[in-house]
């Protein structure tokens, strides 16, 4: 089963301007049984943060990658996931808890199919930060040790200096969810902040550079995570004539019955 993007789980990305350590989104659609949720948070201002935990009724989340910005900045990001063996109901609230309070936060969640159900996330994630050169692709890091067909995702938080959204473009070969579905350009507390989520559902090789392109020079923090595709079941052995080979049935062995000799006393 190939890895595939299914849908965004909110009509628009969640944003918060409250000075707090949490941010939440409420799903607007059900997650199918056996699929995964992958989401992110980003922040800027007040404190540099990392992702401490994510919680929701009906799902158990894990933090797959998180990092704060360079020294002196107040940015941070995190990527998280959950396997949903029984699915997840619509109108479920998913809450992310950060390591410190922030006044500008964004968050979104997405549904993917075709991922491994035991150890789906690679370790470690890659992270980067700095001040990008305008209109030049910037490599945040390179995910390595991949298997062709795996999923890779990445997110960046950007403090643009123009006050106009749309200053981030996806890296070459990466896909962003359609604008308005919670993953393309997500504005934080103001148009000075934005974040972008991107993915490749089925990498071609054993490594993948995490790249973004910024229109103007200002600070950013971002990173990426790789996820294992589902393992194919081992093929069953066939009989030489094309029939399935049945498992031999062994009859229980009984001890031989012993009879006394005639006339024995």
If pLDDT is split at 50, 70 and 90, which confidence band does 31 have? very high
A 10 A CB-CB count for 166 gives 15
80 Cβ neighbours under 8 A, 6+ residues apart: 38, 39, 40, 41, 51, 54, 61, 62, 63, 64, 96
pLDDT, position 14 = 78
pLDDT, position 66 = 93
Q: What is the pTM of this model?
A: 0.83
pLDDT, position 43 = 87
**Segment among 21-35, 72-86, 185-199, 247-261 with least mean pLDDT:** 247-261
Q: What is the pLDDT of residues 57-107, one digit of tens each?
A: 999 999 999 998 765 567 889 999 999 999 999 999 999 999 999 888 889
If pLDDT is split at 50, 70 and 90, which confidence band does 183 have? very low
Query: Between 35 and 212, whose confidence is greater?
Result: 35
DSSP 8-state code for residue 167:
-
């Amino acid at each position: 089963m190939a890895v595939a993007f299914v849908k965004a789980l909110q009509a628009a990305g969640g944003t918060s301007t409250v000075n707090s350590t949490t941010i939440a989104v409420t799903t607007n659609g059900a997650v199918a049984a056996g699929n995964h949720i992958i989401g992110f948070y980003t922040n800027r201002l007040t404190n540099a943060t990392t992702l401490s935990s994510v919680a929701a009724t009906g799902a158990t989340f894990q933090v797959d990658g998180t990092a704060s910005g360079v020294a002196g900045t107040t940015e941070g990001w995190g990527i998280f996931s959950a396997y949903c063996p029984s699915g997840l109901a619509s109108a479920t609230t998913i809450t992310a808890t950060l390591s410190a309070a922030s006044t500008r936060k964004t968050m979104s969640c997405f549904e993917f199919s075709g991922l491994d159900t035991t150890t789906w996330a690679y370790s470690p994630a890659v992270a980067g930060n700095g001040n990008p050169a305008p209109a030049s692709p910037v490599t945040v890091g390179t995910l390595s040790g991949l298997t062709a067909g795996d999923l890779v995702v990445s997110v960046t938080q950007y403090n643009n200096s123009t006050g106009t959204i749309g200053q981030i473009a996806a890296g070459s070969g990466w896909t962003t969810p359609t604008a308005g579905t919670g993953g393309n350009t997500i504005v934080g507390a103001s148009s000075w902040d934005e974040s972008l989520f991107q993915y490749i559902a089925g990498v071609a090789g054993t490594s993948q550079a995490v790249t973004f392109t910024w229109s103007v020079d200002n600070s950013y923090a971002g990173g990426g995570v790789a996820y294992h595709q589902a393992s194919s079941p081992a093929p069953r052995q066939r009989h030489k004539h094309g029939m399935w080979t049945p498992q031999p049935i062994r009859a229980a062995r009984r001890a031989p019955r012993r009879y006394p000799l005639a006339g024995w006393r």
